[in-house]
Chains A and B, each alone.
Chain A
Amino acid sequence: MYAQMVKSTGKALLSREEMSPQERAFQDRIDQGEKIEPKDWMPEGYRKNLIRQIGQHAHSEIVGQLPEGNWITRAPTLERKANLLAKVQDEAGHGLYLYCAAETLGVSRDQLFEMLHTGKMKYSSIFNYPTLTWADMGAVGWLVDGAAIMNQVPLQRTSYGPYARAMVRICKEESFHQRQGFQIMLTMANGTEDQKRMAQDALNRFWYPALMMFGPSDKDSVHSAQSMAWKIKMNTNDELRQKFVDETVPQAEFLGLTVPDEHLTWNEDTGHYDYSEPDWNEFFDVISGNGPCNTERLEARKMAWDDGAWVREGMLAHARKSQARKAAAE
């Protein structure tokens, strides 16, 4: 899940009686499963929430290039190097679709970047964790992309047309990434003692951060109701987290790895795994800027932006000059 803790506009969910006729008609369209398109009327809160959510998602895609980029230059085979490059290229592409989707709501990509750089907008907490061994490339694909898919598959049915359509394309590629990650884990888990150790260590470090990707527990998640009514959010955080645990634990067993949770047990009555909650204090620390890599990630993005200013300005100046030359010639 690349959009966690999306703060809504703060208003409580309105009852039908409290809605204006326009708002009621809007809600009816959503309830009937119609897609909202950029030129349609929409409540200001809907627009703002969507910008925050799509923006956060887009930022996560581009910041998410960094922990994997950290290993592209050290990928152990030509095939792995090519796969990782293709994956990171896909992520930049996802960023592009999502910024385009956000632009349809009246905010420019440059404005969104500005908000990322000044800390006004967030990206997923998961990318503030370091990637320390090659097994982390497996764990990121398997767990992080796996968790992202859990959230994004339902978002293909989200009420805002451009966002839903972007999700359709993104989901196809994400499931490919997840298989690739799992395959790296499988190779490592069946490899030498060193490789097995790396694989277990990667799972130990990424398990709880992956659970945190779904956002705080439902009882502490104050912003969900309105987003769910608007079909910007399709499931609760805890529902998705449970689904993730239920699907991932058997995969870990298949790999011969141990999920780092001594309380993890299959519950016959519920038909789900019981599991330990992640350390939510750590989560709030990471969200508020004190994760292991927050400073480096933001620094890297800002440096890229600042160092690239002359390139963007040069390109723009050339485009203007070419246009002027063309006009003069006509």
Chain B
Amino acid sequence: MTEALFEFLLRQGDNSLVLGHRVSEWCGVAPALEEDIALANTALDLIGQTRLWLEYAAEVEGKGRSADDLAFLRDAYDFRNMLLVELPNKDFGQTLMRQFLFDAFQVPWLTALKSSSDQHIADIASKSLQEALYHLERSRDTVIALGDGTKESNARMQEALDRLWPYAGEVFRDDEIDIAMAKKHIAPRPSEIRQTWDATLKETFEAAYLTLSEDRFAHSGGRTGQRHTEHLGHMLATMQVLQRSYPGATW
């Protein structure tokens, strides 16, 4: 059970860590100053959430590792984030579309986790939900604005959606960890969230004049750690460089 809970917590923490890192790559080069501020703020929230999840994961694991050890000293195959969040930023449209697909899941997911039988998880979810609600409001509004905006912005957002769509469904494939968590009432099965997520997407893409593919194919392998994309290794090489190069140093 401890092992399954640890895996579950890594999934939460790694999602926020990897996405937070990706978003932070935008620092100083966003399309407008307001976007610079908003993206930095989103990244900051996600890194803050990461600390909560990974601190708890480290505690549950009980091997004396810290949240920083988990973030900076694991290799790609030990990461448990969904593939969607490790994909490169590309243009602002892809960054915001990725954010929207994630936020649209995260809001109902964290809402459900607020009722977790594990009080620590309920507390983290409760705090993170406030931030996720704001992220969703912003990413949804941006997707709608750019979908509606000009011919070019609409085309770019459609391209972003088409590009990211095959990575969006991974999270709904329940596996043995999800089932173990559901049995203990720690978390619902992710597939239970799908309907809410579908509804948010439908409503948003209609308002954004974007077409959602009927295809339900979904790449997988991120949240199990079985097969990440090639991109994660490069991200970790950057992210972990100091901890790896100077073992044991305090920063």
Interface residues of A (CB under 8 A from B): 62, 65-66, 68-69, 72-82, 85-86, 88-89, 92-93, 95-96, 99, 109, 134, 184, 187-188, 191-192, 194-195, 300-301, 303-305, 307-319, 321-322
Contacts and interface: CB of A to CB of B under 8 A. Distances in A.
B148 A88 contact: no
B33 A311 contact: no
B24 A72 contact: yes
B28 A69 contact: yes
B41 A89 contact: yes
Nearest to B24: A72
B72 A317 contact: no
29 contacts: A62-B33, A65-B27, A65-B28, A66-B28, A69-B29, A74-B242, A76-B72, A76-B249, A77-B251, A78-B51, A78-B54, A81-B24, A82-B48, A85-B43, A89-B40, A93-B37, A187-B251, A191-B250, A307-B31, A308-B31, A312-B31, A313-B153, A314-B149, A315-B145, A317-B148, A318-B145, A318-B148, A319-B145, A321-B148
Interface in B225-251: 238-239, 241-243, 246, 248-251
B239 to A, nearest CB: 6
B215 interface: no
B28 A313 contact: no
Nearest to B21: A73
Given A73-B238, A78-B71, A81-B24, A311 B47 contact: no
Considering residues B28, B48, B248, which has the most beta carbons from chain A within 10 angstroms of its beta carbon?
Answer: B28
Considering residues A95, A315, A319, which has the most beta carbons from chain B within 10 angstroms of its beta carbon?
Answer: A315
Nearest to A308: B31
Given A76-B251, A78-B50, A308-B92, A195 B246 contact: yes
B241 A85 contact: no
B24 A318 contact: no
A307 B154 CA distance: 16
Nearest to A87: B40
Main secondary structure, interface of A, reads: helix
B97 interface: no
Nearest to A325: B148
Contacts of A76: 72, 242-243, 249, 251
Nearest to B36: A92
B24 A95 contact: no
Interface string B19-39: 001001101111111111100
Interface of B: 17, 21, 24-25, 27-37, 40-41, 43-44, 47-48, 50-51, 54, 67-68, 71-72, 91-93, 144-146, 148-150, 152-154, 156, 238-239, 241-243, 246, 248-251
B29 A303 contact: yes
B44 A310 contact: no
B148 A82 contact: no
B153 A300 contact: no
Given A74-B238, A85-B40, A92-B36, A311 B31 contact: yes
B29 A300 contact: yes
B238 A62 contact: no
Contacts of A319: 145
Nearest to A304: B29
Contact of A311 (B24, B72, B146, B250): B146
Q: Which 7 A-B pairs have the closest CB atoms?
A: A308-B31, A314-B153, A314-B149, A69-B27, A65-B28, A89-B40, A304-B29
Given A92-B40, A187-B251, A318 B238 contact: no
A88 B246 contact: no
Given A75-B242, A89-B44, A312-B32, 18 more contacts: A62-B33, A65-B28, A76-B242, A78-B71, A85-B47, A92-B37, A96-B34, A191-B249, A303-B29, A310-B150, A310-B153, A311-B92, A314-B146, A317-B148, A317-B153, A318-B145, A318-B148, A319-B145
